[in-house]
Amino acid sequence: MKLLQVPTMELEQRIKEEIEENPALEEGKEEVDEFEQDDYGDGEVTEAEENFDINDYLDDDLPTYKTSVSNHSADDEEKAIPLSGGKSFHEILVSQLSLRKLQSKEKAIAENIIGNIDDDGYLRRDIEDIVDDLAFSFNIPCEEEEVEDVLFTIQDFEPAGVGARDLRECLLLQLERLHHGDIAVYTAKKILEKSFEEFTKKHYDKIKAKFEISDDDLKEAIAVILKLNPKPGNSLKESTNTKNIQQIIPDFILSEEDGDLRLSLNARNAPQLKVSKSYENMLRNYAEGAKTSKADKEALQFVKQKLDGAKWFIDAIQQRQQTLLYTMQAIVDYQKEYFLTGDETNLRPMILKDIADIVEMDISTISRVANSKYVQTDFGIMSLKFFFSESLSTSSGEEVSTREVKKILQEAVDNEEKKKPLTDQKLTELLKSKGYNIARRTVAKYREQLNIPVARLRKEL
């Protein structure tokens, strides 16, 4: 069950760990020729293999396999993980201190401030708390004004906006570096200074009235603000390659050929594993030979334990493959119309119990299959969780997927008039006109699940 919920990328690591722990388990096909291919691919038996002695594993206190494991086949690709040679975001900030003329006390204050700047570039700790930190932790007494003066110096560092204490200050710091003769920059600065709350709530009429500006003037000022970076720290993180990017590897591959759907398991989910022949020979030799001494019995027990473990692991991997394919095939059959068309409105309501009943397995097993698994389709790579959704009834009594309703909501918002965006009440009325009897609070819930802001925040000039 644990192997079942492991995603493809982690499965490879799990197999490598098992091979390292159990020398009776090897990569490769089960069939073995009279002369097995060695690591160099020349088909010859090495001197080490000819002189193999089981006593090397049994006589020492620490078996050799614990310290020397060869689990690489001739086809293995060497995958060394390169270490990044770039500087971190905070190291770049510290390096800019040397370019400023600072006294030792000011430098200590600056280093403390930089240590409190988060990865987005913001100073999240209050000046008063920094003063206390310096006094109690570093025995550096100072006033709040001194800390603020050093902070203003750091706020002049790259990237623009670093060291800000909130979004408004961050955007204003960036505007300070733009061309001051530009009327749009001047207007943008005044809006952030005097009407930041109205700007965040998109109360554009109040802003125009307050500053006595036209629609075009407001549009130009907002365009300037939207070009600013609300998270300046990210610009340096990406440039120094410190941002982790997780690659998605599909567990299944689904393709459509002449109206038929063909499902297959990703080859990385079906590794070739075998039981070591040398360990099987060891067991046979010890079983046939004398077993009177304690050492012989312990050796026999050790070899048998490793062989049983290897066979169990191979069987568990095979069961994992069968369960994955069996469950995914049930999902494909259940959602066949969607997989043929790619139209989300063709998704049928489907919960874990529906598939569990079809494959006659426990719901927890289906949940493990759906968790962290992906399928590659003609319409892109999708999470298996995407295909599960609750149902609701239309005015005609037909059961439809909630995902179908969300699709209609998304399309309605995408096509709405941005000067007069659709309110939740309007969206509710739109759905009712299409036969979906849904309460306004349910529409609001679906809208939030789709990460769509309320109508007021979607308004554009």
Looking at the fold, whether 280 and 302 belong to one and the same domain comes out as yes
Over residues 204-225, the mean pLDDT reads 91
Q: Alpha helices, DSSP H only, in 262-362?
A: 277-288, 294-334, 336-341, 352-359
How high is the pLDDT of residue 288?
60
Residue 104 lies in a domain: yes
The answer to whether residue 64 sits within a structural domain is: no
Query: 377 and 328 in contact (C-beta within 8 Å)?
Result: no
Structure tokens at 222: 């907002």
53 pLDDT higher than 80 = no
| Whether 136 and 121 share a structural domain | yes
Q: Quick one: pLDDT at residue 308?
A: 84
Q: Is residue 141 part of a domain?
A: yes
Mean pLDDT of the chain: 79
Mean of pLDDT values over 267-288: 70
- Domain of residue 150 covers 89-154
Look at residue 53 and tell me if it is in a domain: no
Q: Are residues 328 and 267 in the same domain?
A: yes
Span of 112-116, 202-206, 267-271 with lowest mean pLDDT: 267-271
**Numbers of helices and strands, H then E, in the chain:** 22, 8
For residues 250 and 375, membership in a common domain is answered with: yes
- Of 21-25, 29-33, 197-201, the range with the highest mean pLDDT is 197-201
Q: Do residues 270 and 355 share a domain?
A: yes
User: Are 249 and 8 within 8 A, CB to CB?
Assistant: yes
Phi and psi based region of residue 139 (left: phi greater than 0; alpha: psi -120 to 50; beta: remaining): left
18, part of any domain: yes
Residues 254 and 360 in one domain: yes
**Same domain, residue pair 264 and 277:** yes
The string of DSSP letters for 12-62 reads HHHHHHHHHH-TTEEES-S---SS---TTSS-PPPHHHHT--THHHHSSSS
Domain boundary among 238, 270, 290: 238
Cα–Cα distance measured from residue 449 to residue 201, given in angstroms and rounded to the nearest whole number: 21
Number of domains in the chain: 4
pLDDT band at residue 70 under the 50/70/90 scheme: very low
> Residue 428's domain is classified under what CATH number?
1.10.10.60
pLDDT of 25 reads: 79
Domain's final residue, options 337, 365, 387: 387
In a domain, 68, yes or no: no
Whether residues 280 and 361 share a domain: the answer is yes
Same domain assignment for residues 281 and 317: yes
Percent of the chain residues past pLDDT 90, beyond the cut: 24
Cα dihedral 49, 55, 57, 60 sign: negative
**Residues 54 and 63 sit within 8 Å (Cβ to Cβ):** no
pLDDT band at 400 (very low <50, low <70, confident <90, very high): low
User: Which of 387, 416, 443 is where one domain is finished?
Assistant: 387
- The secondary structure of 140-158 as a DSSP string is ----HHHHHHHHHHHTTSS
Query: Which stretch of 25-39, 173-187, 405-419, 437-451 has the lowest confidence by average pLDDT?
Result: 25-39
245, pLDDT greater than 70 = no
Q: What backbone phi and psi angles, to 5 degrees, belong to 4?
A: -65, -35
Instruction: List the one residue out of 10, 30, 23, 9 whose CA is nearest residue 315.
Output: 30
Same domain, 288 and 356: yes
Domain for residue 43, yes or no? no
pLDDT digits (tens, 9 = 90+) for 145-164: 999 999 999 999 998 999 99
According to the model, what pLDDT value does residue 364 have?
Answer: 87
Mark whether 281 and 178 lie in a shared domain. Answer: no
> Are both 252 and 374 inside the same structural domain?
yes
Do the strands 252-257 and 260-265 form a parallel or antiparallel pair, or are they unpaired? antiparallel
Determine the pLDDT at residue 6: 75
> How far is the C-alpha of 343 from the C-alpha of 30, rounded, in Å?
44
Q: CB 434: neighbour CB atoms within 10 A?
A: 11
Report the sign of the C-alpha dihedral through residues 447, 448, 451, 457, in that order. positive
Q: Nearest 5°: CA angle at 360, between 354 and 361?
A: 90
More confident call, 7 vs 83: 7
- pTM > 0.85: no
Q: Is residue 234 part of a domain?
A: yes
